[in-house]
Amino acid sequence: MRSNKTAAYNMEEDIPYELVRLGYACNARCLFCNVECLPEERKSDDRILRDVMKAVLISGSRPGGRISISGGEPGLYRGLPSLIRLFRSKKVSKIEVQTNALCFADRSLAALVASAGATSAFVSLHSHSPGTHDFLTGVKGSYARSLKGIDNLLSCGLEVVLNPVICSRNYRAAAKYMAFVSKRFPEIKYISLSVVQPRGRALKNGRIVPDYALISPYISDALSRADAEGLVIHNPICGLPLCVGGWHERADRSVEYSLSKLDRRRDVGKIYPDFCSVCSVKTVCGGVWPEYMDIHGVSGLKPV
Ligand code: SF4
Ligand code: SF4
């Protein structure tokens, strides 16, 4: 069993990397994809090119910087290895690829990306169950291909961080997911536990947005199971308010906690219900998506 108590916790490590979005093409059709909610002007090639150039300039002026390459699905872009090499030449120390891992079922692509200098992959694997994962991604056979992709990324030397998105179809099995990951992928240590952000396609498939009151005990169990398995779970910006799932008891594993402590909070459009004014963790909690409250009201939220 792995230990999660060996290293001192480093809040800087928790700060999101500089994001580079290569484009919006994707080979999956996740029921909760929020990429399509971005305004049209943000989808233009000009904007994408500007984002890339900005990241190149920032990484050039800040050696040791960290870049996360996203999409859509970055693995679909033939220029991905060249872009990684470019960032490497600018002395970027960490280069992460956000992926559903389908493309990396082809080991030669995983090897190309690794040899270009990528250091990690942030992989969306939504369930330990093939049927549930395939249902959520909208692609039959995606579970088997993504698992193969993860195996290839690991065997090519990349660190893999998993990013399951908790929704109304998979929350009951969250603890089983932790046990599965521990057994199937003993090399994986970190999981970023997202929850559906109720925007884009998720709003059109409203029933996929889970009620926080229902998922809270299951998340709490999953976190305990992860502890027992030696996995380290993070609560990303697309995660949960601290009053749900017992996150307030491990607040320092929340990205919004780190951003608050480092005075680097940013406005992502979340809000606070009135009762948050008496909550003891408000200064380190990011609040809730307004669209969640449109669907479920304040269900599951209460001051700590
Ligand atoms: S959530 Fe990610 S993998 Fe799924 S359809 Fe959207 S961009 Fe593709
Ligand atoms: S009550 Fe409000 S401030 Fe407190 S944890 Fe919940 S959402 Fe955050």
Domains, the chain: 17-162 (3.20.20.70), 164-184+199-304 (no CATH)
How far is residue 114's CA from residue 76's CA, in Å, rounded to a whole number? Answer: 16
How far is residue 164's CA from residue 222's CA, in Å, rounded to a whole number? Answer: 12
pLDDT of residue 1: 36
Show the tokens assigned to 234: 């993070």
pTM: 0.91
CA angle 15/236/271 to nearest 5° reads 105
pLDDT of residue 38: 55
Check pLDDT > 50 for residue 51: yes
Q: Which has the minimum average pLDDT: 63-67, 99-103, 268-272?
A: 63-67
Query: pLDDT digit string (tens) for 94-121?
Result: 999 999 999 999 999 999 999 999 999 9
Q: Could you tell me if 292 and 209 are in contact, meaning their C-beta atoms sit under 8 angstroms apart?
A: yes
Check pLDDT > 90 for residue 49: no
The ligand 2 atom at the shortest distance from the C-alpha of residue 280 is 4
Check pLDDT > 90 for residue 137: yes
Check pLDDT > 70 for residue 298: yes
How far is residue 292's CA from residue 288's CA, in Å, rounded to a whole number? Answer: 7
The ligand 1 atom at the shortest distance from the C-alpha of residue 165 is 1
Residue from 255, 284, 301 to probe ligand 2 pocket by mutation (most atoms less than 8 Å from CB): 301
**Atom 1 of ligand 2, residue of closest alpha carbon:** 303
Nearest CA-CA partner of 225 in 251, 193, 195: 193
**Ligand 2 within 6 A of CB of 243:** yes
**Ligand 2 within 6 A of CB of 21:** no
Q: How far is the CA of 93 from the centre of ligand 2 (A)?
A: 35
Q: How far is the CA of 158 from the centre of ligand 2 (A)?
A: 36
Q: How far is the CA of 32 from the centre of ligand 1 (A)?
A: 8
Query: pLDDT digit string (tens) for 4-42?
Result: 333 445 666 777 788 888 888 899 999 999 876 555 545
